[in-house]
Amino acid sequence: MVLAAFALFSGKEWGRWFAIVVVVVNGIVQIAWFPAYPLWSLVAIGLEIAVLYALTAGWKDAKSELRA
């Protein structure tokens, strides 16, 4: 994840896709843990939705800001 974070900050496309896969897998895990930790799972899923939005819909804006 640290390598993906460095790749994202440098604007690499593979880091974006790796982060998307990790966020989706973590979302599935959070759904599995929902009966044990409902509040934490809801918070984590909400954050994951925000991260997925930034990595998909907001990627062009973020990438242009990183290059500036």
The upper half-sphere exposure of residue 57, i.e. CA atoms within 13 Å in the direction of its Cβ, equals: 5
What amino acid is encoded at 22 in this protein? V
* pLDDT at position 54: 86
pLDDT (mean) for 36-52: 94
Tokens of 51: 């991260």
8 Å CB contact between 27 and 50: no
Categorize the per-residue pLDDT at 9 as very low, low, confident or very high, splitting at 50, 70 and 90.
Answer: confident
The pTM of this model reads: 0.78
* pLDDT at position 32: 95
